[in-house]
Structure 1
Amino acid sequence: MRKGLSVLMVYTFFFLGCTTSAVEKGSSPATANVYFTNPITDGADPWVIKKDGYYYYCGSGMGGIYISKSRKLTEPGERVVVWRPPAESWNSHNIWAPELHFFNGKWYIYYAAAKKAGGPFLYQQSGVLESASEDPFGAYLDKGRVYTGDNIQDTSSVKWAIDLTPLSLNGQLYALWSGWENNAETDRTKQHLYIARMSNPWTISSNRVRISSPTEPWETGGELDLNEGPQVLKHQGKVFIIYSTRESWLKEYRLGQLALSDTTLSPMEPASWVKSGPVFQGNDQVFGVGHCSFTKSPDGTEDWIAYHTKKSTAPGWNRDIRLQEFTWHADGSTDFGEPIPAGVPIKVPSGEEK
C-alpha cells in the first residue's frame, strides 16, 4: 500500500471518530463541523489578505480582476469584479496573478498584463491600481505600469515582468518581481527575481537588482529554468521571500526560499539573501505545488499558506486552490511540512469554528 493512501486512511478514521464523538456528546452542528477539505475552490495564484476580521481573496477572471470577502478563510465569499482592462492598451489582455494590499488608507492591486491576448507570452508587464477610498469594492484608478528596467531615466525601457509584490522594510518600500534579463522573442526565456526601491506604492524609483536566478539543482533540469511568484513572509524579526520554481505547467513546480541574513543589511544587495529549498513540493498525490500567499487564522494564533496545485500530472494550467497550516523550525525558518492530499479532513483555522 502506498504511503499516501495509508495517511489518507488514518486521517479519515481520525476525522470520523472525532465528529462522531462530538455529535454523540450533543454538540451542535456548528461546533461539530470543525474540518474542511482541500481544494477550497478552482483557480490559480491565490492571494488572500486579512483585515479587520475579514479575508479578502483577489484573483483574475470574469473579464477582469475580482475580490471576495468572507469571515472564513476556508470559504471565500462571492467574487465581485472591481476592475476591467481597457481596450487597445498595454494592459488589455493576459491579466495574471493580481494581489491586493493596503497602504495609508487605500487599497492597491498589483498585477501583470499584456497588449496582446494569448501566447506566446512576450509582452507581460506589471501595473498597479489604486482604490478611490478605503472600500476595496469601490472604484479603482489605473496608475499605469511600474518601471521594471535598468535605466530609470528612460521609463520606456521597461522589461518583461510578472508577479510584482511589495516589501516594506525599515521604513522603505520595495518592489519584488519575476522578470527577464532582456525582452525576448520567445517565452521560453529564463526568469529571475528582481528588487527595486519604491517612492510610493505605485512608483519604482531605482534601477532593478537581480537577487535570485534558477541555479540550484532543485531549480533546474526541466524544460525551462525560472524563479517567479515571490511572496514576503516575516516572522520574529526575520524576512523571507518564498518563491516558485521549476515549470508552472508541470508537476515539478515547487517553492524555494530566500532569507535575509540580517534585516539591517540592504535587501538590494544580492549577497544579503541566503537561498534554500525546496521548502514545499508535491508528492505522489499532490502535483505542482506553487505560487502562494500567507495569512493568519481568525484568532491570530496560527500561520496559514494558500497555494495552488495541478489537478493532474498532465502538462497544463488546470489548477485548484488549497490551504494548509504551517509552523516554524527552532532556528526561525519555515516548516511547511508535506502537502495534504485532496479530501483529507483538515481542522479549520483556529477561531473559525466559532
Structure 2
Amino acid sequence: MRTSALLATGLTLAALSATAGCGLFGEDQPADLQVYSARHYGSEEVFKQFTKETGITVDFLGGDNSELLERIKAEGEDSPADVYMTVDAGNLWNAADQGLLQPIDSPTLDKAVPQQYRDSQDRWFGLVLRARTVLYNPDNVKESDLDPQDTYAGLADPKWKGRICMRDTSEAYTVSLVASLIDLYGRDKALDIVKGWVANDVDVMANDVLLIDAVDAGTCDVALVNHYYLARELEERPDLDVKLYWASQEGAGTHVNISGAGVVKTSDNKEQAQELIEWLATKGQDDMIAGNHEFPVNPSVQPDEVARSFGTFKPMPIDAEAYGALNAEAVDLLAEAGYK
C-alpha cells in the first residue's frame, strides 16, 4: 500500500508538471522567481508588468490548490517555489499551518494590507477581495423580499421554494461560505440553514455564469454569486435583467474572501519573493484587479469603475483559521444536509 501511495503521488505531480506549467520565459532564460499559483485571473499579465517595472523575471506554475501544496511538500528542501499564491483564506491558512510559509517583516505590507486580510504571524497577505452575495431578478423579486439581517439564512424561508440557485462544491466558494456560517452561528444552526436551502429545492449549478444566466432568464429568482462574475458579464451584456443585493447589511455583513500570497519557507530568493508580494499589494493593485473587477485590499487603491458601480457595503469579517479549520466540517455538513 505504501508503494501504491507513493506511485499515486508521483503520477499526480507528473500530471501537474505536464499540464499546469505556465512559464513566461524559455528554458534558456531561467527566471528569477518561481511562483506556484492556484489563481487563474490574469496572472500572466500581472507578472509581466512586475518584470517590466522591476527587472525581476517570473516563471509560474498553475494548478489546483491542493495539488500545488502537495507538490511543495513532496519537493521539500529542493522545491523551486519562491511564492505560493492562491484563492480562499482557508487555503492560505492551511499552507501556513502546515509550515510551508515563512513570516515576512515588511513595513510596506503592514501599511498596505489591513490586519483583517493578513496572517497574524505575517506568513501570508491578502491581495484582492471578492464578495459572495445575492443576485436577483427584479421582475420577480423586490429588494424588500430579502432579509437584510440574515440574508443567507433567509434563503431557507419556504417562500423561496423552487426559486433559488446556488453553486456546487467543486470550488471553495460554497464550502467557505458554509464554514463562515458555522463560525458565525454554530454547527446546528448552520445545518438548519443548509437543510432549508435543500428543502427549497435549490438548483445547484456548475459555475457562476450559469447562475447569472438563470436569474436573467427567470429560471431562478435568486442566486448567490461572486460579484466579479457579474461585473464581467455586465461588461459584455449590460442589459442583463438582474440586480445585486449586498447580503446581511443589518447583520454580520456580506461574505467576502481573498486571493493572497506568501513566501515559501524553502525559497532561495526570499528578498525578491517579498518584493513581488509588496509590489502586488501596492503598485500592482490596479494590475491585480484589471479585467476581473475584484476589490483591492489596499485602502488607498480604488476599485475599478464596474466594481464601484455596485456601491459600498459592509463585509463580514474574515476568519481565515475558521475557513481553513472548518473546511472539512463544512463539507460534511453539506453532505449531511443533502446538498448536491
- TM bucket (normalised to shorter chain) is under 0.3
Greater per-residue helix proportion: 2
Greater per-residue strand proportion: 1
TM-score (norm 2): 0.23
Q: Which has the higher contact order (CA 8 A, sep 6+)?
A: 2
